């Protein structure tokens, strides 16, 4: 299919902002602490391959959620270590070994199968042991039984047990009591293994919130996820650490019409014009990841001015009232769904809240048919 220059909807990605965010958080932590960039879910919708290539000089490690995500990076030429943060099925072990992908180990029997497969290939499979210090998701429990099982994994001949890690559940809360309890549990687990003569090259606990506010002592690496995209992990994070949102969402005016009073707009006529009204139709909808919950409950920017959404958000289009917009609104005019235009801004959090969502989810939901356009040094860099 022939490519065109037309961009029905665009997610603009500011690579300079991402670089700034990474370096900002790195500066808060010890200089020798390694940086793992979490680029799962296509880098939270920002584009994993492009981000890995452009930020490779700032990364020591990458993390994704699935083997296909990791293989995509390998096939794109990414050679630095890649960790699968969650579950890897036995059917994927061969791919993990063949592509030198690090998996997460939290079950001895499954680790034994991985070890045997690696030995059959004349290789060692890299793993990081996962400890459940309070997330209650995956990982060995912080008790003697968990330590014994983890020790058994370290003795498997086909494994290179490179690291050990856990994940904070409440590092993004103002009250850090529970996070520090997790820190103590994980520290005890690691120390207990070290007392048995088992050491790890990489021990890691800090996620974005941890790297911003806890700076956990005694560990080797931090995992930076949502923060690198310029989004705060929660509203309770201290905003003194300034980060820059990397993504803005844009579309176009595709039709402008004058409607009389009493006209219904959109499915179900949930909005009826009260006066003569100028309506602009915009080229984006819920199939693009724009929340349907913003039906009659959101706003956009046109000519740097706010315009309310009227009627229901459709699959591919929305309608906005541009009657109060100064200047002519024409087909082809840029519409900002979140981001900055002129002197005004719509945050991704503003878009997420009416949908009972949050910034992570909203970024991840921007669909494939929204073209990602990358900017570097203030100029369009890559589409």
Helices within the chain (DSSP H only): 15-26, 40-44, 48-54, 67-75, 93-98, 108-120, 144-154, 177-194, 208-213, 348-352, 359-365
Task: Please check the confidence at residue 1 and state whether its pLDDT lies above 70.
Answer: no
**What pLDDT score was predicted for residue 216?**
96
Residue with tokens 């969502």: 357
Q: Indicate whether 240 belongs to any domain.
A: no
Q: What is the pLDDT of residues 247-268, one digit of tens each?
A: 999 999 999 999 999 999 999 9
Q: Given 202, 229, 256, which residue is the final one in a domain?
A: 229
Both 270 and 164 in one domain: the answer is no
| Same domain, yes or no: 328 and 373 | yes
Is 4 a member of any domain? no
pLDDT band for position 382 (50/70/90)?
A: confident
Q: How many domains does the chain have?
A: 2
For residue range 153-180, what is the model confidence (pLDDT) as tens digits? 999 999 999 999 999 999 999 999 999 9
Residues 201 and 60 in one domain: yes
Helical pair 144-154 and 108-120, crossing angle rounded to 10 deg: 0
| 63 within a domain of the structure (yes/no) | yes
300 and 206 both lie in a single domain: no
Instruction: Give me the mean pLDDT over the 214-231 stretch.
Output: 98
CATH number at residue 215: 3.20.20.10
Does one domain contain both 158 and 106? yes
Indicate whether 205 pLDDT > 70.
Answer: yes
Q: Are residues 203 and 311 in the same domain?
A: no
Q: 198, 229, 260: which is the final residue of a domain? A: 229
Rounded average pLDDT over 319-340: 98
In a domain, 85, yes or no: yes
Q: Angle at CA 359, nearest 5°, toward 290 and 80?
A: 110
Catalytic positions: 40, 267
92 plus 200 within the same structural domain: yes
Task: Please report whether residue 10 resides in a domain.
Answer: no
Domain assignment present for residue 14? The answer is: no
Domain CATH number, residue 272: 2.40.37.10
pLDDT at 2: 55
CB atoms closer than 10 angstroms to residue 75:
10
Question: Which residues, including other chains, have CB under 8 Å from residue 222's CB and lie 6 or more apart?
Answer: 25, 29, 33, 34, 35, 36, 204, 206, 207, 210, 211
The answer to whether residues 378 and 318 belong to one domain is yes
Write out pLDDT tens, residues 8-63: 999 999 999 999 999 999 999 999 999 999 999 999 999 999 999 999 999 999 99
pLDDT band at 127 (very low <50, low <70, confident <90, very high): very high
Indicate whether 79 and 210 sit together in one domain: yes
Q: Say if 16 falls within a structural domain.
A: no
Q: Which residue has the higher pLDDT, 382 or 85?
A: 85
Q: Residue 305 belongs to what domain range?
A: 247-382
Pair 196, 307 in one domain: no
Give yes or no: residues 139 and 39 share one domain.
yes
Cα separation, 312 vs 268, whole angstroms: 8
- The overall pTM is greater than 0.75: yes
């Amino acid at each position: 299919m022939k490519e065109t220059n037309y961009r029905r909807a665009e997610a603009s990605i500011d690579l300079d902002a991402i670089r700034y965010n990474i370096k900002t958080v790195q500066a808060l932590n010890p200089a020798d602490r390694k940086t793992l960039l979490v680029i799962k879910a296509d880098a939270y919708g920002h584009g994993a391959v492009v981000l890995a290539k452009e930020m490779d000089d700032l990364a020591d490690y990458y993390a994704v959620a699935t083997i296909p995500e990791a293989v995509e990076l390998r096939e794109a030429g990414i050679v630095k270590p890649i960790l699968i943060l969650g579950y890897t099925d036995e059917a994927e072990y061969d791919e993990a070994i063949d592509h030198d992908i690090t998996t997460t180990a939290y079950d001895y029997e499954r680790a034994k199968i991985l070890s045997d497969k690696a030995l059959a290939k004349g290789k060692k499979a890299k793993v990081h042991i996962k400890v459940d210090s309070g997330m209650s998701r995956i990982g060995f429990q912080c008790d003697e039984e968990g330590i014994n099982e983890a020790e058994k994994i370290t003795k498997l001949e086909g494994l290179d047990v490179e690291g050990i890690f856990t994940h904070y559940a409440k590092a993004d809360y103002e009250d850090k009591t529970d996070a520090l309890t997790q820190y103590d549990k994980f520290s005890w687990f690691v120390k207990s293994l070290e007392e048995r003569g088992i050491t790890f090259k990489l021990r890691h606990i800090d996620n974005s919130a941890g790297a911003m506010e806890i700076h956990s002592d005694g560990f080797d690496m931090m995992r930076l996820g949502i923060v690198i995209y310029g989004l705060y992990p929660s509203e309770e994070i201290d905003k003194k650490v300034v980060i820059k949102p990397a993504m803005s969402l844009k579309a176009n005016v595709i039709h402008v019409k004058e409607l009389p009073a009493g006209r219904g707009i959109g499915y179900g006529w949930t909005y009826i014009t009260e006066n003569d009204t100028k309506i602009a139709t915009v080229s984006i909808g819920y199939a693009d990841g724009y929340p349907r919950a913003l039906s009659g409950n959101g706003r956009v920017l046109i000519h740097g001015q706010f315009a309310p959404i009227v009627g229901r958000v459709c699959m591919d289009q929305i309608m906005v009232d541009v009657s109060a917009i100064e200047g002519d609104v024409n087909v082809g005019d840029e519409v900002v769904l979140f981001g900055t235009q002129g002197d005004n801004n719509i945050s991704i959090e503003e878009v997420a809240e009416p949908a009972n969502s949050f910034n992570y989810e909203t970024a991840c939901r921007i669909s494939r048919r929204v073209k990602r356009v990358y900017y570097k040094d203030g100029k369009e860099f890559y589409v």
